[in-house]
Amino acid sequence: LLIMAAGCLLFVPAAMLRYYPLFLLGLFVVGTGTTLLQTAVNPYITKLGDPARAAQRISIMGICNKFAGILAPMILGAIILKNSDGLLAELESLAPGAKTIRLDELAHDVIMPYMVLTLVLCVIAFGIKYAHLPEITPSADELAVNEKEELTNAGKSYNGVFMLGFTAIFVTVGVEVIAGDTIGNYGIYHGVRLDVAKSLTSYTLASMLTGYVLGALFIPKLITQEKAFLYSSLLGILLTLLAVFVPGEASIIFIALLGFANAMLWPAIWPLALRGLSGALLNRGSAILIMGIAGGAILPLVYSWLSHISNNQLAYLLLIPCYLFNVYYQISRTKKTVDHSLTQF
């Protein structure tokens, strides 16, 4: 949390200098802190209670996450990008000197929001420090089993499981970012005004928030986290096909609805991937899995490349193999768990 706060603080000199690489450095530092946080918090929440309710607990985290994600573009858009269409026209009409002064003013608008974020992150960090959260300690039996596996090199057999989980997170975060971050440009592609398109991400996040709420309410009462993962992946395939083949602005609706399909993917991967692990294997698995977040950086670039060689709409076909992999992962992981239980029996 403190590393994230330091990254937000870098936005102040970046805005004062209006130096883009410094903005990128700030984002990099924030991303570093986020990755460390996720590496710790996801296995912690997974192990903090009934394993069958792990996806429910992560869904509750997701509600807070996406609610903030919905508000952020609205608030920052209202502060920084208000009357954005008129702003672009204004900048084009200004002389070079006046344009520089106006751009400086716009850059300075980000200082206060990021100062507030820095303060909030620091407050949360010190709140966590003194909250006395319970430590998750494996039982003696779990430690003995994991130690035996490590000594006999049986732990190496988990590497394949970890890599499947890594790939599942890689494609899951990739489809989440594509659905959320490309929808604005996709709206512009279909002729939507920038003043409207800048807020389209909030619709994707709102549908994702709805999925998180339903997950928190109905897992495992009405549906298991494994089935929720499978059905969400299948729904993602259906919505992607509709987005690609429905013509015009109507297809934007299905990109926004992908947020609903994506909601239960992240919460359900963690209990699937970390099932039965503790000690060193749990730490190793979490570290490998969290690196799958790189999918959110790489797959949008692939989407961008596909949109240039085809168009923005057809490029969404990239999502199909991603969802298909998650279907395979859920079926194979569940089958291995059943086979392992039968063997022990």
The CA distance from 150 to 63, in Å, is: 37
- Residue range 81-98: average pLDDT? 74
Q: Are 61 and 32 in contact (CB under 8 A)?
A: no
Q: How crowded is residue 68: how many other Cβ atoms within 10 Å of its Cβ?
A: 12
127 exposure class (CB count in 10 Å sphere: 0-12, 13-18, 19+): exposed
Task: Give every CB contact of residue 320 below 8 A, 6+ residues apart in sequence.
Answer: 237, 240, 241
Average pLDDT, the chain: 84
Q: Give the pLDDT confidence score for residue 338 in this predicted structure.
A: 47
The CA distance from 217 to 189, in Å, is: 37
Q: Are 22 and 108 in contact (CB under 8 A)?
A: no
- Using one digit for the tens of pLDDT, what is the confidence trace for 287-316? 788 889 899 999 999 999 999 999 999 999
Most confident stretch, 87-96, 168-177, 189-198: 168-177
- Residue range 50-70: average pLDDT? 82
Q: Give the pLDDT confidence score for residue 236 in this predicted structure.
A: 97
- Residue range 86-92: average pLDDT? 74
The CA distance from 208 to 262, in Å, is: 7
Q: Name the percent of the chain lying above pLDDT 70.
A: 86
Q: Give the pLDDT confidence score for residue 227 in this predicted structure.
A: 93
Residue indicated by tokens 């992560």: 58
Q: Give the pLDDT confidence score for residue 146 in this predicted structure.
A: 52
Most confident stretch, 58-67, 109-118, 322-331: 322-331
- Residue range 22-44: average pLDDT? 89
- Using one digit for the tens of pLDDT, what is the confidence trace for 223-262? 998 999 999 999 999 999 999 999 999 999 999 999 999 9
Most confident stretch, 26-30, 48-52, 89-93: 26-30
For the residues of 138-162, what is the DSSP string, one character each? --HHHHHHHHHHHHTTGGGGHHHHH
Most confident stretch, 40-49, 85-94, 207-216, 255-264: 255-264
Just give the CATH number of 2-132+141-338.
Answer: 1.20.1250.20
For the residues of 284-303, what is the DSSP string, one character each? HHHHHHHGGGGHHHHHHHHH
| Strand extents, DSSP E, 45-179 | none
**Higher local confidence (pLDDT), 192 or 86:** 192
Q: Give the pLDDT confidence score for residue 344 in this predicted structure.
A: 41
Q: Give the pLDDT confidence score for residue 53 in this predicted structure.
A: 85
Task: Give every CB contact of residue 311 below 8 A, 6+ residues apart in sequence.
Answer: 189
Q: Label residues 217-241 b or e (16+ Cβ within 10 Å = b).
A: eebbeebebbbbbbebbbbbbebbe
Task: Tell me which H or E stretch contains 327.
Answer: helix 319-344
pLDDT surpassing 90 at residue 26? yes
54 SS3 class: helix
Task: Give every CB contact of residue 95 below 8 A, 6+ residues apart in sequence.
Answer: none
Reported as a pLDDT band with limits 50, 70 and 90, residue 115 is very high
- Residue range 160-174: average pLDDT? 90
pLDDT surpassing 90 at residue 279? no
Q: Give the pLDDT confidence score for residue 98 in this predicted structure.
A: 84
130 SS3 class: coil
- Residue range 210-226: average pLDDT? 89
196 SS3 class: helix
Residue type, 329: Y
Domain ranges for the chain, please list them: 2-132+141-338
Reported as a pLDDT band with limits 50, 70 and 90, residue 132 is confident
Give me the helix-helix angle, 265-274 and 225-245, nearest 10°: 140
- Residue range 40-63: average pLDDT? 84
From 5-9, 115-119, 231-235, 279-283, the region with the lowest mean pLDDT = 279-283
Q: Give the pLDDT confidence score for residue 81 in this predicted structure.
A: 65
Q: Give the pLDDT confidence score for residue 233 in this predicted structure.
A: 96
Task: Give every CB contact of residue 120 below 8 A, 6+ residues apart in sequence.
Answer: none
